A and B are shown apart, each in its own frame.
Chain A
Amino acid sequence: MMIKKAVLALTLLVAFAFDAYGAELFVPDHHSTIQEALDQAAPGDTVTVKPGSYSENIVIKRPVTLRSANGPASTAINAAKKDEPVISINDATGVSIEGLSATGSEVAGIRLTRSSGVSLKGNQTTENLYGIALYDSSDNKIESNTADLNENYGIYLEKSHRNTVVKNSASSNGDRGIFISASDSNTVIGNTANLNTWNGIVLWSAKGNIIRGNKTLRNTYGLVLTESSGNTVDENTSLPNVFIILPILLIYLGILLYLVQKYALKFLYRS
């Protein structure tokens, strides 16, 4: 009797252990499309995408991890329908997306709607209308993504609160790098928003956000706050010291060169 109970306990322990880690599904090995794998995945499972180019519009509603095997440079998802986001996360919690490239959508590369606890890490969302867009989505983490070369905004937050946006690149976008609209208590730290047509980082009707240590170089306006209050804005850079020191130094060297040339020629003519 004791042995039976021990075997049963061990079996349950092993079953729970497997359940805690979740299964791993591979695309295209186990499933031909990413969406098919996601539909088959149970909460807590991981869908690993092998290198290649995939033409899909992915919708995620369960707490799963979607990641690439080799990073965004070799794993690209192009929008099959251009009027839909490449990856949509709707009404979901605990979703994680890592190391994927999402391009070619006239809506967004990755769009979160009414979602929380989502982690976006190391993704590349280029050449969409918006790179990463959050609507009514709170307590998410957006880290080390590249949201460059999009038609409008790199990273866009609307009515989304307490999100963490760190170490992302939102550069060379057609309008703004990072746009925080009607969103409160977000933390925006260590991002790069350079070379955007209009603004690097914009806060519009936003309260209690922390904007710290971001780089906003060569935009029309670096950092713009409109109808916003109670935000902490510090240690951001729009014009580094070197941009001022270098030209002054070069002009000094120019004056020095003139004097050297003048005295050298005088010496030559005299001799």
Chain B
Amino acid sequence: MQEVLLDLISIFSNISIVLASIGLIIATSSFISGLQLVKAASRIEGRIHKFNGIATIAIYAVLFILSIVDHGFRLWPIIGWLSGLSIVLLKLKIVRGRKKRARKYISWMGACLVLIWLYIVYIHIPL
């Protein structure tokens, strides 16, 4: 147990993993509030979802910039980051749009974003 705790503490040795962890925490909260919003419109859930959404996009952007600063312009990482960003933008477009058929898939897209954050955490854990 002590060994696992020490491992967990030693992981947070760089800024990227700290930011990625915060991103996953906020994305989880955002996902739950989003699910509540799909069930029924609520002012509180709406506020939580909006605040968390903006915060995760900001952290995502900082991590993207840090990745370029650390590793330079490499094709596959940039394609990966831009793909994640395109999913975020697509979700925003559907949320703001009025197509009811597209809205059916909004929960799935939210789950997709949580999975993206899980991958971001995994990839940033120092070896």
Asked whether, in the complex, the Cβ of B26 is within 8 Å of the Cβ of A246, the reply is no
Asked whether, in the complex, the Cβ of B8 is within 8 Å of the Cβ of A262, the reply is no
B118 interface residue per 8 A CB criterion: yes
B19 interface residue per 8 A CB criterion: no
Tell me the chain A residues, 187-228 only, with Cβ under 8 Å from chain B. 192, 194-195, 215, 217-218
Given the contacts A246-B21, A250-B21, A266-B44, A241 and B29 also touching, CB distance less than 8 Å? no
Given the contacts A218-B127, A255-B29, A258-B33, A240 and B7 also touching, CB distance less than 8 Å? yes
B104 interface residue per 8 A CB criterion: no
Closest to A239 in B: B122
A245 interface residue per 8 A CB criterion: yes
Asked whether, in the complex, the Cβ of A261 is within 8 Å of the Cβ of B28, the reply is no
Q: Enumerate chain B residues within 8 angstroms of A262, measured Cβ to Cβ.
A: 33, 44-45, 48
> Can you report 20 A-B residue pairs in the complex whose CB atoms are below 8 A from each other?
A217-B127, A241-B7, A242-B4, A246-B8, A246-B11, A247-B24, A247-B121, A250-B28, A251-B24, A254-B31, A254-B32, A258-B28, A261-B29, A261-B33, A261-B52, A262-B33, A262-B44, A262-B45, A265-B44, A265-B48
Given the complex of chains A and B, what is the CA–CA distance between A251 and B21 in angstroms? 9
Given the complex of chains A and B, what is the CA–CA distance between A176 and B21 in angstroms? 31
Asked whether, in the complex, the Cβ of B28 is within 8 Å of the Cβ of A243, the reply is no
9 tightest CB-CB pairs across the interface, nearest first? A254-B28, A258-B29, A257-B29, A242-B7, A250-B24, A258-B32, A254-B25, A265-B44, A253-B25
A269 interface residue per 8 A CB criterion: yes
B93 interface residue per 8 A CB criterion: no
B27 interface residue per 8 A CB criterion: yes
A172 to chain B, nearest CB (A): 10
Q: Enumerate chain A residues within 8 angstroms of B118, measured Cβ to Cβ.
A: 247
Q: Enumerate chain B residues within 8 angstroms of A245, measured Cβ to Cβ.
A: 4, 8
Q: Enumerate chain B residues within 8 angstroms of A253, measured Cβ to Cβ.
A: 25, 28
B78 to chain A, nearest CB (A): 18
Asked whether, in the complex, the Cβ of B125 is within 8 Å of the Cβ of A242, the reply is yes
Asked whether, in the complex, the Cβ of B11 is within 8 Å of the Cβ of A257, the reply is no
Q: Enumerate chain B residues within 8 angstroms of A215, measured Cβ to Cβ.
A: 127
Given the complex of chains A and B, what is the CA–CA distance between A160 and B21 in angstroms? 45
Q: Beyond A243-B125, A255-B29, list 12 extra A-B contacts (CB 8 Å).
A: A194-B127, A242-B125, A245-B4, A246-B11, A247-B118, A250-B21, A253-B25, A255-B28, A257-B28, A258-B33, A262-B33, A262-B44
Given the contacts A242-B8, A254-B26, A265-B44, A247 and B127 also touching, CB distance less than 8 Å? no
Q: Enumerate chain B residues within 8 angstroms of A269, measured Cβ to Cβ.
A: 43-44
Q: Enumerate chain A residues within 8 angstroms of B33, measured Cβ to Cβ.
A: 258, 261-262
Asked whether, in the complex, the Cβ of B21 is within 8 Å of the Cβ of A265, the reply is no
Asked whether, in the complex, the Cβ of A251 is within 8 Å of the Cβ of B127, the reply is no
Closest to B123 in A: A218
Closest to B42 in A: A262
Q: Enumerate chain B residues within 8 angstroms of A241, measured Cβ to Cβ.
A: 4, 7
Q: Enumerate chain B residues within 8 angstroms of A218, measured Cβ to Cβ.
A: 127
Most chain-B Cβ atoms within 10 A of its Cβ — which of A192, A247, A250, A266?
A250
Given the complex of chains A and B, what is the CA–CA distance between A148 and B36 in angstroms? 49
Given the complex of chains A and B, what is the CA–CA distance between A267 and B48 in angstroms? 14
Given the complex of chains A and B, what is the CA–CA distance between A246 and B29 in angstroms? 16
